[in-house]
Homo-oligomer: A and B are copies of this chain.
Amino acid sequence: MSVTFAQGFSAAGVAAGISAVEGKKDLALVVNNGPLDAAAAVFTTNRFCAAPVQWSRAVVSDGHVKAVILNSGGANACTGKPGYEQSRATAEKIAGLLGASANDIAVCSTGLIGELLPLDHVLAGAQAAFDALSDGAEAGADASHAIMTTDTKPKTVELEGSTGFRVGGMVKGSGMIAPQLATMLCVITTDAVVSAGQLQAALNAGVEMSFNRIDVDGCMSTNDTVLLLASGASGVEPDPDEFNELVAEATASLARQIVGDGEGASHDIRIAVTGATTEDAALACGRAVAASNLLKCAIAGNDPNWGRILSSLGTVSPEDAPFEAEKVTVDVNGVRICENGGAGRDRSEVDMTPREVHIDIDLNAGDAEATVWTDDLTHEYVHINADYES
């Protein structure tokens, strides 16, 4: 279903010969058939942002997007002016097919950095994707497959509001996932009647609580793009709060799916920090713990190593997160293995067999809290990233 769950959207996913994997679907197209074409977006803050990010940022700036074309198999990042011209040519091709302006066509790319795309394959694929456009469930599924790189499964979401409007979405992302947006491409669609301003506000809030709170490997991508498109095809003007909640639920679900498919991961780790003086303080602590390679290796080895939790917590400056070391408690999977900054119950009591590992840190310094998600660090992560296009 994915992006076609919302009315007013058609999609396609085709094999265009961009990916090095023979026959892999690698080009997706999502078209907003209206009547509205309102759009909002959030992009990577990386200073080496890719050509398609530069292109799409300009496209979305007026709040209108008619279609998005996305490819895996190449990031078109650090490719200079020729790369930018590739993004423009791709947008122009779709614009010609749709009878639209290229300035309303967003472009997203993901894959290896530093190489131009095989443009002839992209343009031929754009034609094939246009020919295959459909508003059916299978077309949405095809699109969600076509954006995958090291992802092992497509990641989609379908939600319905109480007044009948819908939100659908797809995301790709598995490695190069860091707190300031994850390495990912995400398209969320809705048939609600909403303005671009409403979309942007809902997206900003949703992204802050979801994609900005996951961390697979602390690496920020050059290509991250999250698009939220509204067709208005349901004719429903949603309750603003409910609309915001549904967008937040969609981004949370997609972000959670990214962690669940983190490169090589054998555990998904939820780090909940409570008792902080402020939410930012809780977040700083959660992120410091989520960034610890040593802890992530320990979890891979089914070791609830609270010493590595405390030592990473101890790197957060007192200005960023006031707390007293000897008041901190840590529970892993419900067992309080650290009490008052020292040893608590025996680590052997912790059942580490579930895929999900819950680390609950109480700073005992205030009432604020925050939760971040990460993955463990496994042999398989190294294998994937040592051998990826080497």
**Taking beta carbons and an 8 Å cutoff, which residues of A are in contact with B?**
46-49, 75, 77-80, 83, 112-115, 175-176, 178, 180, 217-222, 291-294, 297-298, 300-303, 305-308, 310-316, 318, 325-326, 338, 340-343, 377-379, 381-390
Contact = CB atoms under 8 A, between A and B. Distances in A.
Contacts of A221: 311
Given A113-B311, A297-B382, A381-B382, 4 more contacts: A47-B316, A78-B341, A293-B381, A301-B388
B308 A219 contact: yes
A343 B222 CA distance: 15
A75 B386 CA distance: 33
A310 B80 CA distance: 13
A77 B326 contact: no
Contacts of A314: 46-49, 220, 222
A387 B293 CA distance: 14
Given A46-B311, A306-B114, A315-B180, A342 B78 contact: yes
Contact of A291 (B218, B301, B315): B218
**How many copies, total?**
2
The 8 closest A-B pairs by CB, nearest first: A113-B307, A301-B386, A297-B385, A303-B390, A48-B314, A46-B314, A47-B314, A80-B342
20 contacts: A47-B314, A48-B314, A48-B325, A48-B341, A78-B338, A113-B306, A113-B310, A114-B307, A217-B293, A218-B218, A218-B292, A220-B311, A293-B293, A293-B377, A293-B381, A301-B388, A301-B390, A303-B389, A378-B382, A379-B379
Contacts of A378: 382, 386
Given A115-B343, A297-B385, A326-B80, A222 B310 contact: yes
B301 A46 contact: no
B298 A47 contact: no
A389 B302 CA distance: 11
A343 B301 contact: no
The interface centre, meaning the residue of A113, A314, A389 with most chain B CB atoms within 10 A of its CB, is A314
A341 B54 CA distance: 15
A267 to B, nearest CB: 11
A302 B390 contact: yes
B220 A300 contact: no
A343 B307 contact: no
The interface centre, meaning the residue of A47, A217, A311, A384 with most chain B CB atoms within 10 A of its CB, is A311
Nearest to A175: B294
Contacts of A176: 294, 311
The interface centre, meaning the residue of A308, A318, A342 with most chain B CB atoms within 10 A of its CB, is A342
A77 B383 contact: no
Contact of A318 (B47, B115, B219): B47
Contacts of A292: 218-219
Nearest to A315: B220
A385 B377 CA distance: 10
A312 B381 CA distance: 18
A310 B180 CA distance: 16
A314 B113 CA distance: 13
Contacts of A178: 315
